Each structure stands twice: as structure tokens, then as C-alpha cells.
Chains A and B, each alone.
Chain A
Amino acid sequence: MTLVFWFSAVAVVYVYAGYPLVLRAWAWLRPRSIRLQTSDVGPEPAVSIVIAARNESHRLAARIENLLSLDYPADKKQIIVVSDGSTDDTLDVMARYGAAVEAFSIPPSGKAVALNEGVARARHEIIVFADARQIFEPAALRELVAPLSDPSVGAVTGELLLDAESPCRRIRDRRGGYTGPRRHVEADPRVGRGSSDRRGGLDRRRTVRSTIADGVGLYWKYEKRIRHFESAIDSTLGATGAIYAVRRSLFQPLPADTLLDDVLTPMRVVLAGYRVVFAEGARALDRAAVDADAEARRKVRTLAGNYQILALEPRLLLPWRNRVWLQYVSHKLGRLVMPYALLAIFCTSIALADAHMFYLAVLAAEVSLFLLAGCGALIEYRGQIADSRFAALPQPLGSPARRVA
């Protein structure tokens, strides 16, 4: 019993605290730099941007405007939109952009197949993957492709800024304008400038009243620090689906049922002997899922995808085949076993509570965590109730009420 407790406790402490500290020390002692140079891809290499979308016509106009307005030569951007069995007017919306956008439709097959089809039509050596929902900052594309001038870099992931950490939110918070679970996140004025469809941009940055967004935002910041250090010593263990680039020669077609293309593709790049690095200056903006249910669904899909990747690429488990094996086990596999370790600590600390005050203290800490989480759930629930009441208000009363915190 004691052995199970300590094994689980050490695992939890290592995964959440020890590993980030090891990474930090490793990155400080033996950083691996990126050799930026004018190489085969040049300072502004031609890129093919691939977006897979299903029934996203309401977002795509703003998305395309955003891509067209990026600080990057227009003649070096190929924009490909793959409509994965959309039943809305996606192709009609894309037709407005003429030759600037290459849009085509495929039967509903899933995102992975849509991405494969998009890459098959790409004309350039660098493929940039993006989603319909997020928007890029003006310099994002330039920042994203810059590390690829280093021949050892095979893929680059950008940074996804959730609304909880967006610059306008931080300014608002410093002014003390918004407190509690309700908040209003305005459109980032730097993004989408010149857009003919501002409503699309505002919709993405609309009022967010979710409680969980704050927790997710903190988690995401923590996760990004880990990625930063992993990139500094070798490679990150995945990319941000909203903004990542890969050399076309390293892209392998995705199995049709792939859940996490943004992990499978970068890990294949690592297994091929190249680096996957994190370009913090390449930023896409998004908002955290609006409620706990949506966030939970997203996390379930992500973690199911991590299990699936083990089946698709079992080489990741072999230290002699995977040079980032330690990072993979500590980061990805560690997260998968954490709930069982926490459960084991809980059960064993109950059994051992009489033996020593320490176990009682651990039990109390874990119970406090669950009680706090219960309070968080309550806050979320109250936020949803309040939201539904505001939504029920007749317009225009409903809208301003939602915007005032």
C-alpha cells in the first residue's frame, strides 16, 4: 500500500512539476539553437495554406480575409480550402475570392482525408495548416516559416492565444474593468484589419462567460511553457492544429480516422530525424471553449487521439527509435496515467491515514482539491444559468446585458 502511494505520488509530482523543472534546467544547460539562414527556402518561401472545413461558410469569409491581409507576399501564398462534405454554401463563399483561393469539395470523409486532399493539391514545399475558426496575427506566417530556413527543422508550430490571455483581455483586467466569471473580450484591433466581414471576427471574440475558460487558459499557458522548453532542447511533441507548418517532403498521408493530425504529423517528422520547433511569434487567436461540456468533449477527443497515436506509431514507445522518448513518456504518456495515479493516491491515503499524519494531510489536500473543483463546477453552472437568462432577454436588451460585466 505504501509502495503504491509513493510510486503514484512521485509520478504525479514528476509529471506536473519535476518534468517542467528538468526541461527548464536542460534548456538552460544545453539549448539547441535554430540556425536561421538564407537557405533553400529563402526568407519568404512560397507556402501552401491548407484549411479543411465542414459547414464553416459563416466563418470562412473572415478567415480568408485574414489570410489575404497577412504581412506576406501575395504571390507566395496558395490558399486551399477543402470542403469536407459541406452542405452549406462554402464553395459559393469561396468563389467570391476567385483565383486567390482554391476551393473544392470532397464527400464527407473526415478532417484527415480532407487534409490529405489539400496537401495533394499544394504546389509549394512548405505546407501551413490552419483551421477555419482562428485568425492569425499579421506577422504570423512570416514568423512561422522562418525556422524552416534551418535544414534540421522539419516542422514548426505556432502559438495559440486563447481569449483569456489575449492582449485586450489583459489590458481590461489591469484596468479592473471585469471581474468574476463574466467578461467581454473585444475583437483584437490588430487582426482582420480591412476585413469586409467584421461580424465574423467579432463573433469569434464575443462575450465569453465560461468559468472553465480561465482554468483552461492557465493550463494552456503551462502547456506552452513546456512546449517552449521542449523546443529549446530538441522538439515539441505536437503542434497547434490552428497554426503549424511542415515540409511537404516530410508529410505522410494521414489515416482516415486520425484524431490528432497535429500530433501525428509532427511526431512522424521527429521520427524521420528532423526537429519540430515552437515559434512563439507566430500567433493565432482563438477563444477557449465556451462551456465545460464543450471543453470536456475537446479534451476527450484529444486524449483519445493520444491513445490512437500509440497504435498508429508504436515506434514512439521505443527509446532506440524515438530520440524524444523521455519527453514523450514524461509529457504525453504521463498525462494519460495521471488520473489513475491520483485515484491510487486517494485510495491509499485513506488506508494509510491512521498510520501517519502525512497521509492524512495528503488525503485532506486531495479532498480539498475535489471540493474546490465542485465549487468551480457550481460557478460554471451559475454562469450558464445567468447566460441563458440574458439570452432570453428581448433584443436589444439581451446583447448589451451580455456585454456588461
Chain B
Amino acid sequence: MPRVFSRLAKVAYAFVIMNYAAVAGLFAAARGRRVWR
């Protein structure tokens, strides 16, 4: 797999994870879910 494509894929994946985390974080905060490390 070309390196550029691989790098873009990694960045896109991290981007999606971070946006997912914003939604999950809202639900976690709203429900008082334990998110402590």
C-alpha cells in the first residue's frame, strides 16, 4: 500500500475516532458514566 495512502488513512481514522469521542463524551457526561482512567 503506498505510503501516502497509508498515512492519509491513518489520519482519517484518527479524525473519525476523535469525532466519535466528542459524541461518546457527551453521552458519558450526561449519563455520569465512569470515564475515569
Contact = CB atoms under 8 A, between A and B. Distances in A.
Interface of A: 110-111, 179-181, 211-212, 214-216, 218-219, 259, 292, 295-308, 335-340, 342, 369-370, 372-373, 375-377, 379-380
A296 B20 contact: yes
In the A-B complex, the 8 residue pairs with the closest CB atoms: A376-B13, A215-B14, A303-B25, A299-B21, A372-B12, A376-B9, A304-B25, A307-B29
A306 B10 contact: no
Nearest to A299: B21
Among A214, A297, A337, the one with the most B-chain Cβ atoms within 10 Å of its Cβ is: A214
Interface string B11-23: 1111111111111
Given A179-B3, A336-B22, A292 B13 contact: yes
Say what secondary structure dominates the interface of chain A: helix
Please classify the interface of chain B as helix (H, G, I), strand (E, B), loop, or mixed, using the class held by over half of its residues. Answer: helix
Nearest to A308: B29
A369 B12 contact: yes
B13 to A, nearest CB: 3
A378 to B, nearest CB: 8
Contacts of B9: 372-373, 375-376, 379
A259 B35 contact: yes
B2 to A, nearest CB: 11
Interface residues of B, number: 31
A292 B25 CA distance: 16
A183 to B, nearest CB: 12
B10 A339 contact: no
Given A215-B15, A338-B22, A300 B28 contact: yes
Given A259-B35, A301-B35, A335 B22 contact: yes
A307 B14 contact: no
A306 to B, nearest CB: 7
Contacts of A300: 21, 24-25, 28, 35
A335 B26 CA distance: 12
A307 B25 contact: yes
B1 to A, nearest CB: 8
A377 B12 CA distance: 9
Contacts of A375: 5, 9, 12-13
